[in-house]
Amino acid sequence: MSTDLHVFALAGIPDVAAGDDLGALILAAAARSGRAIEAGDVVVVAQKIVSKAEGALVALDDVAPSPAATWWAGESGKDARVIEVVLRESARIVRMSRGVLIAETRHGFVCANAGVDASNVAPGFVSVLPRDPDASAERLREALTRAVAAGAQPSGGGAASIGVIISDTFGRPWR
């Protein structure tokens, strides 16, 4: 028995907003691409769209920086409100150096800024990591599996099992 590995990106997923149905967006993008999601497939989803769909965004105007955040902002030249969000999302600060905060999140991930990120979100907001990424992946896996089993995709019908990985480009915090 031979097993092949095929990797492809799905184009055409729109800007995701709070409450959007990621399963439906992924299935629609797959359909437009002419590629069906099939039983046994593993779908890798960027953390950012999961966070956005789940409303894991923080309005910086609603953040009151703590004295620690204000101090670090003065040392690093960063926005004290963003630093405050980083501190709130951190189980512990691993290192503060040269304007970089390396933190361990409550999930146990060690990454820059505890995963807090201002890219690809509206000005004045930052995204945070999903509260429970395993539960997020399971909800998406169930939605995709149901759709494939119900025949929502051309190859659908019958038993289906889809894998889901939520991934990110945390980078290398120790570089």
| Span 160-175, pLDDT tens digits | 689 999 998 766 555 5
Whether 17 is in a domain gets the answer: no
Q: Are residues 68 and 116 in the same domain?
A: yes
Per-residue pLDDT, averaged over 80-104, amounts to 93
Q: Are residues 96 and 143 in the same domain?
A: no
Task: Choose between 36 and 78: higher pLDDT.
Answer: 78
pTM of the model: 0.86
pLDDT of residue 39: 86
Which CATH number fits the domain that encloses residue 119? Answer: 3.90.1660.10
Whether 1 is in a domain gets the answer: no
Q: Are residues 91 and 122 in the same domain?
A: yes
Number of separate domains in the chain: 2
- E strand or H helix at 50: helix 47-53
Q: At what angle do helices 67-76 and 80-89 cross, to 10 degrees?
A: 120
- E strand or H helix at 44: strand 42-46
Output the CA–CA distances (angstroms, integers) from residue 162 to 42, 72, 74, 159, in the order listed.
6, 44, 48, 10
Which CATH number fits the domain that encloses residue 153? Answer: 3.30.1330.100
- E strand or H helix at 75: helix 67-76
pLDDT of residue 173: 54
Q: Are residues 110 and 65 in the same domain?
A: yes
Domain span holding position 121? 57-127
Q: Are 51 and 127 in contact (CB under 8 A)?
A: yes
The model's pLDDT over 31-74, given as tens digits with 9 standing for 90+, comes to 999 988 888 899 999 999 999 999 999 999 999 999 999 999 99
Whether 11 is in a domain gets the answer: no
